[in-house]
Structure 1
C-alpha cells in the first residue's frame, strides 16, 4: 500500500494538470460509470490528500474520494490519452494530459458531510499544515498497544506506512514493542518532527530516504541499496544484514499482520 507521501504527490500532480480546467471524466471499466457521468465536464476546483486518501473537488459539493489500497495504481501522462487498456476504473482528461486509475480500494463520490466524517476518523497527517500532533499524543499516551502498531493505525496518525514506521522508531532509538503509554512526550515530539521532515522529503523526491549523511553509501563506501522500494534505509527489509550504525543484525517479526523491522542494538527494550 502506498505511503502517505505518494498520495500527496498525486494530489500535487492533479493540481498542476487539472485544477481550474474542465475535465472529461469516464470509467472505461464501467464500475464508476454513474459517478463519472455526474463529474464529466466539470471544473476540478481542488486536489488534496489526507493520509492515504485523495480528495478531488469539482464544485457543487461534488468530492471524489480515492483510496488506492494495496492494488490501486495511477498512470499519468501527456495527451492525447491512449486507448484504455486493462481495468481502468477512472479516467480524467484535459488539454494538459490524462490520469488513469486502476484497482483502487475506493473510488466514490462523497458529500461534504461525508468528507468531514472521513477526516474525523483519521489522525493528524504530518504532511498537512493543519495537523495537530497533540491529537495523536492523546491516543498514544493512554494506550497499552505497542508504539509500532499505533504508528500504523490511521486513526492515530494518517499517512505513515510500514517503511516510515520502522525508520522513525530506529532513528529515535525506540524499541517497537514499547507500549504507547510508556512513550514520553519528548519522544513523541521527536517522532512527529521526524515524520514531518522525512515525509516532506518523500514528496519532494518521490522516494523514501531515511539514512543520515554519515550513513549514505558514499560516506560509508558501501554499495547502494537494491530493492523494489528504493531509497536508503536503516532497517526496513534489511533482515539479517548488519545495522549501518552498530553492526548488529537487523531483525524482523510479524506484528499485527505486518512485518516489523528493528535493530536490537540500537533499539533495546526498556527494562521493566
Structure 2
C-alpha cells in the first residue's frame, strides 16, 4: 500500500497538472459513472492529502475522496494520453494533462461532514502544515494510551497518519528504538525524536518519489541517485544481512500482521524508554 509520502506527492503533482481549470471526467469501468457525470466540466479548485487519503475539491462544493488501498494506481500523462483501459475507475482530463485512476479501495463523492468524520479518525500527519509542537503533543498522547509495541502502533493510522511497513521499520532504526517497546513507555525525548525522524524521512520521500532512508556514508555512495534498490534502506527486507552500521545480522518477526525488521544491537531491548 502506498505510504503517506506517495499520497502527498500525488496531491502536489495533480494540483500542478489539472487544478484551477475545468476538468473532463469519466468512468470507463462504470463503477463511478454517476460521480463522474456530476463532476464533468467543473473546475477542480484544489487537492490535499491527509495520511493515505486524498481530497479533491470541485466547483459547487463537491469533494472527491480517494484511498488507493493495496492496488490503486494513478497514471499521469502530460500530452497525448493513450486510451484508458476498461478498468479505469476515473479519468480526469485538463487542458494539458490527463490522469487515470484504477483499482482504488475508495473513490466516492462526500460532503464536508463526511470529510470531517474521516479526518477525525486519523492521527497527525507529519507532512501537513501546522504547529509541529501541537502535532508532537497529539502523537505523544496517542502513544500514551496504547500498550502495544511501538512497531505495531506506528501502523495504526489513528496514532500517526501516513506511516506504512517500510517507514515504520526504517524510522525506528534511525531513531534507535526497540520495536517491541510498549508505545506508552516511550520517553518524551524519544517521542519527539521519533516524530521528527518520521517527518524528515517522509519529506525526503515525497520530494524524491521513492523511499531512501540510508545516509550515504553508510553505503559508501556519493549521491542518492547512485544507490541501487537494495542499498536504499537499513533494515526493511534485510533479514540475516549485516547491519549497515554495526554488522549485526538483521532480525525479523511478525508484528501487527506484517513483517518487521530491526537490528538487535542498534535497537536493543528497552531502547527508547
Partners in 1 of 2:161 and 2:140 — Cα distance? Answer: 13
Partners in 2 of 1:28 and 1:86 — Cα distance? Answer: 5
**Partner SS, residue 218 of structure 1:** coil
- 1:59-208 correspondence runs (5 A): 59-130=59-130, 132-208=135-211
1:193-217 Cα shifts (integer Å, max 9, x gaps): 1111111111111111111232133
Once the two structures are TM-superposed, the CA of residue 118 in structure 1 deviates from its matched residue by: 0.7
Once the two structures are TM-superposed, the CA of residue 133 in structure 1 deviates from its matched residue by: 2.2
How many pairs were matched up? 266
Partners in 2 of 1:226 and 1:204 — Cα distance? Answer: 17
Q: Does 1:45 align with 2:35?
A: no
**Regions of 4+ moved over 3 Å:** 223-227
Once the two structures are TM-superposed, the CA of residue 130 in structure 1 deviates from its matched residue by: 2.5
Partners in 2 of 1:209 and 1:217 — Cα distance? Answer: 14
**Partner SS, residue 178 of structure 1:** coil
**Partner SS, residue 221 of structure 2:** helix
Partners in 2 of 1:141 and 1:214 — Cα distance? Answer: 35
- For the Cα contact (< 8 Å) 1:81–1:93, is it kept in 2? no
Partners in 2 of 1:216 and 1:91 — Cα distance? Answer: 42
Partners in 1 of 2:198 and 2:94 — Cα distance? Answer: 35
**Partner SS, residue 5 of structure 2:** helix
Partners in 2 of 1:142 and 1:100 — Cα distance? Answer: 41
1:59-96 Cα shifts (integer Å, max 9, x gaps): 32210000000000111112333212240000000111
- The TM-score with structure 2 as length reference comes to 0.93
Q: Does 1:212 align with 2:215?
A: yes
- For the Cα contact (< 8 Å) 1:90–1:102, is it kept in 2? yes
Once the two structures are TM-superposed, the CA of residue 175 in structure 1 deviates from its matched residue by: 0.8
Structure 1: gaps of 5 or more residues: none
Partner residue, 1:12? 12
Once the two structures are TM-superposed, the CA of residue 14 in structure 1 deviates from its matched residue by: 1.1
Cα RMSD, aligned residues only? 1.6
- The TM-score with structure 1 as length reference comes to 0.94
**Partner SS, residue 117 of structure 1:** helix
**Partner SS, residue 47 of structure 1:** strand
**Partner SS, residue 11 of structure 1:** helix
Structure 2: gaps of 5 or more residues: none
1:180-201 Cα shifts (integer Å, max 9, x gaps): 1110011010011111111111
